[in-house]
Structure 1
Amino acid sequence: MTIEFKKGDALLIVDVQNDFCPGGALEVPDGDTVIAPLNQAIEAARQTDTPVIASRDWHPEGHCSFEAQGGPWPEHCVQDSFGAAFHPDLRLPADVEIISKGQSLDRDQYSALDDTGLGQQLRNRGIKRLWIGGLAQDVCVHATVLDALSQGFEVKLLASATRPVDPDKGDAVMDEMREKGAETV
């Protein structure tokens, strides 16, 4: 994977948390295989002073997305739990910017740019292009990429650094993101 960061770029890592990796409450098949390419991207970002941002699901107990509350998902990424922690092999830099989402009891947020203030924060810093990877390709990565494109950001999707929770949807979701304007690398 060749990454050439330039001024105006940022690396956005979406939800690489224990609950989305093998053995987690909402396991993405082969979810941990995104870690090595993301660590390469993090190292490249550090060498070029490119900002690294990591989003996370950060749900309160009883969140509306949980099956027990009528939502579609098993309980996952509950605030301050082991499952909500970033995967221990992901080498996030000390100055990583963490974006927490899904904190409201009555609303879910799949996108890291959905009412988090991240889009405006990036524009204020002169960021024009986002390199995006993480979990899950067909849910939160998909929503983040589409939101980034709709907010005017150029998107480079790190294809080797994302996996779908539903493998049958992976190709179609990748095609849709490309059709909307994301470039896969």
Structure 2
Amino acid sequence: MKISDCDALLAIDVQNDFCTGGALAVPGGEKVVPAINRIAQKFANVVLTQDWHPHDHVSFAPNHAGKQPFQTIELDYGTQVLWPAHCVQGTSGAEFHRDLDVVRPSLVVRKGFRRGIDSYSALFENDHRTATGLLGYLRERELKTVFVAGLALDFCVRFSAEDARKAGLEVVVIEDACRAIDLDRSAAAAHQSFRDLGISVVGLEAFL
């Protein structure tokens, strides 16, 4: 696959809390690191995202009496999954995995830092209105195609890919450089969404 200066790699939430031993570990999460590092060498434009929650974030199950992780509540922007407390600002769990190349990226986008709203997508928070600023950055840089990798395929990767596609960008998900939580068949739902929106899904062999 030929990569141009109009392409960007978006590496989603490769943080300690989403890797083995973390507060919200995605099965095999750390295995995306070598793949992302290898792929990133082919891109002039690399962006990292970082979940960055306050300790009292609305999405944390411990902040709701009687609620357990992975139950849901209704908020003004819709249904919200409740998660174990994770990626709390300033903690080691919020740090990038130690083996991730953090030198090459030109931008780090922090998301989920507003207490009252969760933020899966790298482009918009879960109300689908509050922008993170990434879309403006991509447009200002005249980047036309976004390649998406990271954690987790069926949540933050999915929402980021969907929002980028709906904004008019070409989007490619690098499946081998992602891992899924697969909560109530959410991985299958993500793949169906990719097909419906015309989001391409490729493997690492496309970059060899």
Find the aligned partners of 2:15 and 2:191 in 1 and give their Cα distance.
Answer: 21
Whether 1:64 and 2:58 are equivalent positions in the alignment is yes
Find the aligned partners of 2:93 and 2:58 in 1 and give their Cα distance.
Answer: 17
Q: Which moved more, 1:157-166 or 1:168-177?
A: 168-177
Identity of aligned residues (%): 40
The aligned residue for residue 187 of structure 2 is: 170
- TM-score, normalising length: structure 2: 0.82
Find the aligned partners of 1:79 and 1:4 in 2 and give their Cα distance.
Answer: 37
Find the aligned partners of 2:40 and 2:187 in 1 and give their Cα distance.
Answer: 24
State the 1:181 CA deviation: 1.3
Please list, as runs of the form range in 1=range in 2, the aligned pairs for 1:46-125 lying within 5 A after superposition: 50-70=44-64, 72-114=82-124, 115-125=131-141
Find the aligned partners of 2:62 and 2:186 in 1 and give their Cα distance.
Answer: 25
The aligned residue for residue 144 of structure 1 is: 160
Find the aligned partners of 1:35 and 1:96 in 2 and give their Cα distance.
Answer: 18
- TM-score, normalising length: structure 1: 0.92
Amino acid at match of 2:188: D
State the 1:80 CA deviation: 1.1
Q: Secondary structure of the equivalent of 1:32?
A: helix
Find the aligned partners of 2:19 and 2:176 in 1 and give their Cα distance.
Answer: 15
The aligned residue for residue 32 of structure 1 is: 30
State the 1:161 CA deviation: 0.6
Q: Secondary structure of the equivalent of 2:40?
A: helix
State the 1:95 CA deviation: 4.7
Amino acid at match of 1:73: W
Find the aligned partners of 1:129 and 1:144 in 2 and give their Cα distance.
Answer: 13
Find the aligned partners of 2:106 and 2:140 in 1 and give their Cα distance.
Answer: 17
Q: Secondary structure of the equivalent of 2:92?
A: coil
Q: Which runs of 5+ in 1 are unaligned?
A: none
User: Is the CA contact (8 Å cut-off) linking 1:163 and 1:170 kept in structure 2?
Assistant: no
**Coordinate RMSD, CA, aligned:** 1.4
Post-superposition Cα deviations, 1:151-171, rounded to whole Å, max 9, x if no partner, equal: 111001101011111274323
State the 1:172 CA deviation: 3.2
Larger Rg computed on CA atoms:
2
Post-superposition Cα deviations, 1:50-82, rounded to whole Å, max 9, x if no partner, equal: 211001100011111100223610000001110
